[in-house]
A and B are shown apart, each in its own frame.
Chain A
Amino acid sequence: MIARIKARTRQRGRDLAGWMEERTGLISIMEKMLYEPTPKRGKWLYTLGSATLFLITLQFLTGILLLFYYVPSTDEAWDSIYYIMNEAYFGQYVRGIHFWSANVLLLVIGLHMMRTFLSGSYKPPREMNWVVGVFLILIVTILAFTGYALRWDMEGFYAWEVGMKIASYTPLIGDWMVTLLLGGDTAGPATLSRVFAIHVWLLPAALAPLIGIHLFLLRKHGEYGAPFEYSERLAKLRRSRQKRQYLEEVDEESGTGGE
Chain B
Amino acid sequence: MAEELQKDPMSRGQFLYLGAVGTGIGVVLTVPSVIYVLSPSIKSVLLEESDVPEEWKELGSVFEIPPEEPKVHLVEFDQRQTFDSGQPGAVREGDNVGVITNAVLVSWEDGKLPSLLENRSEEEPLESAEIGELTRKLNVMNNACAHMGCPVRWSAEEKEILCPCHGGIYDINGKHTGGPPPHGLWNYTFEIREDGTIYVKHDMHVKTEPGEKPYVV
Residues of A within 8 A of B (CB): 74-75, 158, 161-162, 164-166, 168, 175-176, 178-180, 182-191, 193
Contact = CB atoms under 8 A, between A and B. Distances in A.
A180 B45 CA distance: 10
B74 interface: no
B44 A184 contact: yes
A224 B83 CA distance: 54
Interface stretch (B9-17, B19-27, B112-120, B145-153): B145-153
Given A75-B97, A176-B41, 14 more contacts: A75-B96, A161-B148, A162-B148, A164-B215, A165-B148, A179-B41, A179-B45, A185-B40, A185-B44, A185-B215, A187-B217, A188-B81, A188-B100, A190-B82
Contacts of A178: 215
B40 A162 contact: no
B215 A183 contact: no
Contacts of A176: 38, 41, 45
Contact of B40 (A165, A166, A168, A190): A190
A50 to B, nearest CB: 36
Contact of B44 (A166, A179, A188, A189): A179
Contacts of B150: 158, 161-162
A193 B82 CA distance: 9
A186 B79 contact: yes
A-B complex: 4 closest residue pairs judged by Cβ atoms = A190-B81, A179-B41, A184-B51, A162-B148
A30 B83 CA distance: 51
B18 to A, nearest CB: 27
A182 B51 CA distance: 11
27 contacts: A75-B96, A158-B149, A162-B149, A165-B147, A166-B148, A168-B215, A175-B44, A175-B45, A176-B38, A176-B41, A179-B44, A179-B45, A180-B38, A182-B40, A184-B40, A184-B43, A184-B44, A184-B81, A185-B40, A185-B50, A185-B52, A186-B100, A186-B217, A188-B81, A189-B81, A190-B40, A191-B81
